[in-house]
Chains A and B, each alone.
Chain A
Amino acid sequence: MKGPIISGAIILAGMFIFLKFLLPLVTAPLPASLIYLYLALVLSGILIYGTMSASSLEAMMGPVFRFLSGKGQTGASQMARLAVLVMFPLLVGWQTYSRLVPSDLPPAENRTIHPAPPGEFVGLSNPYPKTPENIMMGKGLYAAYCSPCHGANYDGKGPAAPGFNPPPANFSDPGTIAQLQEAYLFWRIKKGGVGLPVEGMPWKSAMPRWEDELPEEFIWKIIMGEYDGAHQTPRTWEEEE
Chain B
Amino acid sequence: MTSAGQLRHATIVQGMNRMPGLLKLGSFLALLFLPALAMAAGGAEIQAMSVEYRDVPGIGSRNLVWVVAQQHLLLAGFVLGVPIFAWICELVGWKTKEQRYDKLAKEFTKLLTSAYATTALFGGILLFLLIGLYPKLMAYLTDMFFPSFLVYCLLFLLETATLYMYWYGWDYMQGNKKTFHLFLGFLLNLFALGIMIVPNSWATFQASPVVVGEGDAWARAWMAMQNPTWWPVNIHRLIANVVLGGFIVGAYAGVRYLLAVSREEREHYDWMGYVGNFIGVFGMLPLPFAGYWLMREVYQYNQQMGITLMGGFLAWLFILQAMLIGVLFLGANYYFWLGITHRIPGSEGQYKKPVMGMLIVLLLCLGVWMTPHSLVASLAEAQKMGGTHHPLLGVFGVMSAKMTVSNIMILVTFMSFIMYWRAGKQETAGWAKAAKAIMGALLVIAGIAVVVLGVWGYFVPAIIRINYFSVAQVLIVLFIMVTFTPLTALLMKSAKTTTEMVWGKMPIRAGYSLVLNAVMVILLMSLMGYARSSSRVHWHIYGVMRDTSDYAYSPALGYAAAFMSLNTFVFCLIVAFIFWVATLGDKAKAQPPKGSPVDIPGHTAPAMAGGAPSSGEKLE
- Kindly state whether residue B370 has any CB partner on chain A within 8 Å: yes
B462 surroundings in chain A (CB, below 8 A): 178-179, 233, 235-236
B305 touches A (CB below 8 Å): yes
Which of A42, A51, A112, A237 is the one whose CB lies under 8 Å from B300?
Answer: A237
The answer for the CA separation of A238 and B300 in the assembled complex, in Å, is 11
User: Which of A79-87, A101-109, A140-148 contacts its partner?
Assistant: A101-109
B316 interface contact, C-beta 8 A:
yes
Contact call A175/B620, Cβ cutoff below 8 A: no
Tell me which of A52, A116, A175, A240 contacts B394 (CB under 8 A): A175
Report B-chain residues with C-beta under 8 Å of the C-beta of A92: none
| Cα A10 to Cα B283 with chains together (Å) | 38
Whether B213 is near chain A, meaning CB under 8 Å from some CB there, is no
Q: Are B312 and A45 in contact (CB under 8 A)?
A: no
Chain B residues within an 8 Å CB radius of A52: 337-338, 341, 348, 352, 355
Query: Chain A residues with Cβ under 8 A from B380's Cβ?
Result: 105
Q: Among the listed B383, B459, B620, which residue makes an inter-chain contact with A54, where contact means beta carbons less than 8 Å apart?
A: B620
**In the complex where A41-B363, A54-B620 touch, is A28 in contact with B395 (Cβ < 8 A)?**
no
- Bound CA span A33–B459, Å: 29
Complex contacts, A49 vs chain B, CB 8 Å: 355-356, 359
**Residues of B with C-beta under 8 A to A38:** 367
**Residue A69, interface by CB 8 Å:** no
Interface contact A173-B389, CB-CB below 8 Å? yes
Chain A binder among B34-42, B65-73, B371-379? B371-379
Of residues 273 to 321 in B, which have CB atoms within 8 Å of A's CB atoms?
A: 300, 302-305, 307-308, 311-313, 315-316
Closest to B373 in A: A175
Give 16 CB contacts A-B under 8 Å: A28-B384, A30-B385, A30-B390, A31-B385, A33-B377, A37-B371, A44-B363, A52-B337, A105-B380, A114-B311, A119-B304, A165-B379, A174-B395, A175-B389, A236-B463, A238-B463
> Is B271 part of the binding interface, using a Cβ–Cβ cutoff of 8 Å?
no
Interface check B330, CB cutoff 8 A:
yes
Given contacts A41-B367, A111-B374, A235-B462, contact A122 B360 (CB under 8 A): no
Report yes or no: A112 in contact with B315, Cβ–Cβ below 8 A.
Answer: yes
Q: Does B209 contact A (CB under 8 A)?
A: no
Flag A174-193 by CB within 8 Å of B: 1 or 0 each.
Answer: 11101101011000000000
B100-129 residues with Cβ-Cβ distance < 8 A to A are: none
Contact flag A45-B360 (CB < 8 Å), given A28-B384, A37-B370: yes
Which residues of A lie under 8 Å from residue B59 when comparing CB positions?
none
* A58 vs B618: C-alpha distance when bound (angstroms): 13
Give bound CA distance, A176 to B388, whole Å: 12
- For the complex of A and B, the 10 pairs showing the least CB-CB separation, nearest first, are A114-B311, A31-B377, A33-B376, A235-B462, A116-B308, A233-B461, A27-B392, A31-B381, A200-B313, A116-B307
Q: Of residues 158 to 208 in A, which have CB atoms within 8 Å of B's CB atoms?
A: 165-167, 169-170, 173-176, 178-179, 181, 183-184, 199-200
Known: A34-B393, A110-B316, A122-B303. 16 other contacts (CB 8 A): A28-B390, A54-B507, A55-B348, A57-B620, A106-B378, A108-B377, A108-B378, A109-B388, A114-B312, A115-B313, A116-B304, A116-B308, A169-B387, A173-B391, A237-B300, A239-B461
A72 within 8 Å of B (CB atoms): no
Known contacts: A112-B313, A173-B394, A236-B461. The answer to whether A167 contacts B386 by CB under 8 A is yes
Is residue B467 contacting chain A, with contact meaning CB distance below 8 A? yes
The yes or no answer to A70 lying at the interface (CB within 8 A) is: no
Would A174 and B307 count as touching, CB distance under 8 A? no
B607 vs chain A, min Cβ distance (A): 14
B463 touches A116 (CB 8 A): no
Complex CA–CA separation, A93 to B348 (angstroms): 41
For residue A14, CB closer than 8 A to chain B, the reply is: no
Q: Which residues of A contact B363 (CB under 8 A)?
A: 41-42, 44-45
Please tell me if the beta carbons of A51 and B509 are within 8 angstroms of each other in the complex.
yes
A-contacting residues, B485-539, CB 8 Å: 507, 509
- Asked if B613 lies at the interface with its beta carbon under 8 angstroms from chain A, I say no
Answer whether residue A32 sits at the interface, using C-beta atoms and an 8 A cutoff: yes
Measured in the bound complex, the distance between the Cα atoms of B392 and A23 in whole Å is 10
